[in-house]
């Protein structure tokens, strides 16, 4: 199972890499303005936010739902090709793509934590980082036309479906730690942990400028596309190192890790905001990706794995509220900022990250627990 999960992470995050790094640039090449790019990239996160609420009404993230999600993601990816130059069809296929990715990763993350454990999770998850960096370094050499980038997107989606299907079939024969939603002790509510969820939300709002406009932002400030791709890749190298060595850190105070990584993220965005044309400082900011993404992500899913018995649902809400709603507000807000106040794009991200760190601090102080295991 570990080998299959490693391959899945590799191709899934290669797919995400194409979508995040190159599709905004592709849309800019086609002729979309920043607000339209922001709307398109806000649609998938909004769907990711809405989908988990269906599972409070009786839907289950089971094998059938997982395979359906793989199919929707594939249809959405393939649909990018004919819809590329037409705003409303492109928005529609991006929403289908968003529904698929809203369901796929939470299902796999729980399987990974069940079979691998949080201490070894990073050493499997880092294959996703390898996929992300590999597709970035390859595609930058071949991105001569917008259609070339979309072909890469479709190819990575197909390979993700292949390995996701293999994991889904094998998991069907294995017992799961997921509690039965029909049992009395099995409850899920985010109300008692509201500051924690606000922190997750704000952290992803802060990533809106980075995920949606960093490539455009850097190249607009005179950084070449080749160098920009190396900046993305350097950040991924930093996260790979963190994923490999983070095991001992995750045995400590998880809530403190969430606070520290949020404040480090605020510093990271301020560096990008103040020194957009300084290549050395941009590379320095990318080193902090080890904390603002890799360590933060692992601490977040480990926290939820401990807090809630309905583990798949908690992971769905994590991706829905953070990458979903947070990604939606981040994408839309960054589109507006870059259209009307581009100098404040990453200042906005820093403010959101600082607010996230404050929310995690309030939650930790209120609960007086460390979630250390």
Q: What is the mean pLDDT of residues 54-79?
A: 85
- pLDDT, residue 373, reads 46
- pLDDT, residue 110, reads 82
93 pLDDT band (50/70/90 cuts)? very high
Among the listed residues 337, 207, 180, 332, the one whose alpha carbon sits nearest the alpha carbon of residue 261? 207
Rounded to an integer, what distance in angstroms lies between the CA atom of residue 283 and that of residue 221?
A: 15
What H or E segment, with its residue span, contains residue 205?
helix 194-206
Give the pLDDT confidence of 74-88 residue by residue, as tens digits.
Answer: 999 999 999 999 999
241 pLDDT band (50/70/90 cuts)? very high
- pLDDT, residue 179, reads 58
Q: Which range is most confident: 61-65, 235-239, 346-350?
A: 346-350
- pLDDT, residue 59, reads 67
368 pLDDT band (50/70/90 cuts)? low
Q: Answer whether 93's CB lies under 8 Å from 83's CB.
A: yes
CA distances 247 to 117, 163, 254, 259, 306, Å, are 10, 26, 12, 18, 16
- pLDDT, residue 61, reads 73
- pLDDT, residue 68, reads 92
3-state helix, strand, coil in the chain (%, to 5): 85, 0, 15
Query: Among 31-45, 49-63, 236-250, 291-305, which is the least confidently predicted range?
Result: 49-63
Is the pLDDT reported for residue 196 higher than 90? yes
Is the pLDDT reported for residue 237 higher than 80? yes
Give the pLDDT confidence of 305-363 residue by residue, as tens digits.
Answer: 888 888 778 888 888 899 888 988 888 888 888 888 888 999 999 999 999 999 999 99
Is the pLDDT reported for residue 184 higher than 70? no
CA distances 124 to 9, 103, 186, 229, Å, are 8, 20, 29, 24
* Average pLDDT over the chain, rounded to an integer: 87
Rounded to an integer, what distance in angstroms lies between the CA atom of residue 263 and that of residue 259?
A: 6
181 pLDDT band (50/70/90 cuts)? very low
- pLDDT, residue 325, reads 87
Residues 6+ apart with CB under 8 A from 82: 89
Question: Residue holding tokens 């979508």?
Answer: 19
- pLDDT, residue 70, reads 95
Give the pLDDT confidence of 203-220 residue by residue, as tens digits.
Answer: 999 999 998 889 889 998
Q: Which domains does the chain have, with CATH numbers?
A: 2-367 (1.20.1250.20)
Q: Which range is most confident: 44-53, 85-94, 186-195?
A: 85-94
Q: What is the mean pLDDT of residues 30-41?
A: 85
């Amino acid at each position: 199972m570990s080998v299959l999960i490693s391959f899945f992470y590799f191709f899934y995050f290669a797919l995400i890499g194409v979508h995040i790094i190159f599709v905004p640039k592709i849309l800019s090449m086609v002729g979309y303005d920043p607000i339209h790019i922001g709307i398109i990239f806000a649609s998938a996160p909004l769907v990711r936010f809405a989908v988990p609420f269906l599972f409070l009404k009786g839907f289950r993230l089971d094998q059938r739902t997982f395979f359906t999600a793989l199919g929707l993601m594939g249809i959405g990816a393939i649909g990018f090709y004919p819809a590329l130059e037409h705003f409303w069809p492109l928005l529609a296929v991006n929403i289908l793509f968003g529904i698929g990715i809203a369901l796929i990763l939470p299902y796999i993350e729980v399987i990974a934590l069940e079979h691998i454990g949080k201490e070894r999770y990073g050493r499997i998850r880092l294959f996703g980082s390898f996929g992300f960096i590999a597709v970035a370094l390859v595609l930058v050499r071949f991105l001569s036309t917008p259609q070339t980038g979309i072909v890469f997107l479709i190819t990575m989606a197909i390979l993700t479906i292949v390995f996701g299907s293999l994991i889904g079939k094998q998991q069907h024969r294995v017992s799961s730690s997921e509690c039965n939603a029909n049992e009395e002790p099995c409850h899920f509510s985010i109300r008692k942990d509201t500051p924690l969820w606000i922190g997750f939300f704000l952290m992803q709002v802060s990533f809106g400028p980075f995920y949606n406009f960093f490539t455009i932002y850097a190249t607009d400030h005179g950084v070449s596309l080749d160098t920009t791709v190396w900046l993305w890749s350097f950040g991924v190298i930093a996260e790979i190192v963190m994923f490999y060595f983070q095991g001992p850190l995750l045995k400590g105070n998880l809530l403190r890790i969430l606070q520290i990584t949020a404040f480090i993220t605020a510093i990271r965005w301020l560096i990008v905001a103040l020194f957009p044309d300084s290549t050395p400082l941009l590379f320095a900011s990318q080193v902090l990706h080890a904390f603002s993404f890799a360590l933060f992500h692992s601490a977040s899913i480990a926290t939820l794995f401990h807090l809630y018995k309905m583990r798949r649902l908690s992971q769905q809400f994590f991706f829905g509220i953070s990458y979903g709603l947070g990604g939606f507000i981040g994408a839309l807000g960054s589109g507006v900022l870059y259209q009307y106040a581009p100098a404040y794009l990453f200042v906005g991200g820093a403010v959101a990250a600082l607010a996230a760190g404050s929310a995690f601090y309030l939650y930790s102080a209120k609960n007086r627990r460390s979630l250390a295991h």
